[in-house]
Copies of this chain bind each other. A is one copy, B any other.
Amino acid sequence: MTASYKKAYPFEVSPQSVDFNFQITLSSLTALLMETASKNAEENGFGTRHLREGSNTWVLLRMAIEMDSFPKQFEQIYIETWVEDIGRVSTTRNFHIKDRNQNTVGYATSVWAMIDYNSRKPQDLLQLGNMQRFATGEKVPIEKPVKLKEMKGRLTDDFKAKYSHIDFNRHVNTMRYVEWISNCFTPDYYNRKKLKRFDINFMSEILFGDPIQIYLTEDEDNDTYFFEMCSQEKTSCRAKLVFEEQ
């Protein structure tokens, strides 16, 4: 195996990516994971730049992140990434997040599909012959992204998808969902608790102008929270967050 099958990308945690505690936000961390995935896919010949020639694009289906600690402002981190497997309908990409001394601070794992940019229909990944040789089979030592069931609790937020929420795929960006989920907790809660594990499932796209409702179910005894995000009677996204004492 050569370096391109498994590669670490360096990042410095910028002041624009941290919260009031000088700690990287979950959405900024997600953005770095997406950026790492994008860079690695581009370098290996199956990034959106190459796919676009055939009018295909990548969409995230599920992701899980488990963190021992959240890096602080100005910290140097390394995100190592590789493709675990590739099937007809989806591929698994893993991440190992390390500190400046190469100690583990967390892991993430993600499942992706390829769709046609115009028809929005799923495409056969095995047509990307080039990509198959990058499947290393190597797992991460955390549970795979959980498939979440319907948990439509109380309505906590209700608004419309705006310009800044929409990305190059013309739908609401992953980071925005993560931001909206993060916003359901107070600074006081973040002072007391630490996010241990985050699972997110994407089921249907939200486009510009679509209404969004966010529902929340709490299991406070277990520091566990379930989110259901809906648009026009359809579930767009589900998420589960597990916190622990600081």
Whole-angstrom distance between the Cβ of A210 and the nearest chain B Cβ: 13
Binds B, one of A13-21, A81-89, A100-108, A197-205: A13-21
Is A234 engaged at the interface, CB distance under 8 Å to the other chain? no
Residue among B14, B16, B20, B73 making CB contact with A166, cutoff 8 Å: B20
> Which residues 165-194 of A sit at the B interface, judged by CB distance below 8 A?
166-168, 170, 173, 175, 179, 182-183, 185-187, 190
Cα A162 to Cα B25 with chains together (Å): 13
Q: Mark A107-147, 1 if CB is under 8 A from B, else 0.
A: 00000000000000000000000000000000000000000
With contacts A162-B183, A183-B162 taken as known, whether A168 is within 8 angstroms of B49 at the C-beta atoms is no
- How many chain copies? 2
Is A22 engaged at the interface, CB distance under 8 Å to the other chain? yes
Is A46 engaged at the interface, CB distance under 8 Å to the other chain? no
Residue among B22, B166, B187 making CB contact with A19, cutoff 8 Å: B166
| CB atoms of B74 and A49 under 8 A apart | yes
Instruction: Give the residue name and chain of the B residue nearest to A189 (CB).
Output: B163
Residue among B25, B164, B167, B168 making CB contact with A179, cutoff 8 Å: B164
- Chain A residues with CB under 8 Å of chain B are 14-16, 18-20, 22, 25, 27, 31, 34-35, 38, 42, 48-49, 73-74, 159, 162-164, 166-168, 170, 173, 175, 179, 182-183, 185-187, 190, 208
Query: 9 A–B contact pairs at CB < 8 A?
Result: A15-B38, A15-B167, A19-B163, A19-B167, A19-B168, A20-B167, A159-B159, A163-B183, A163-B186
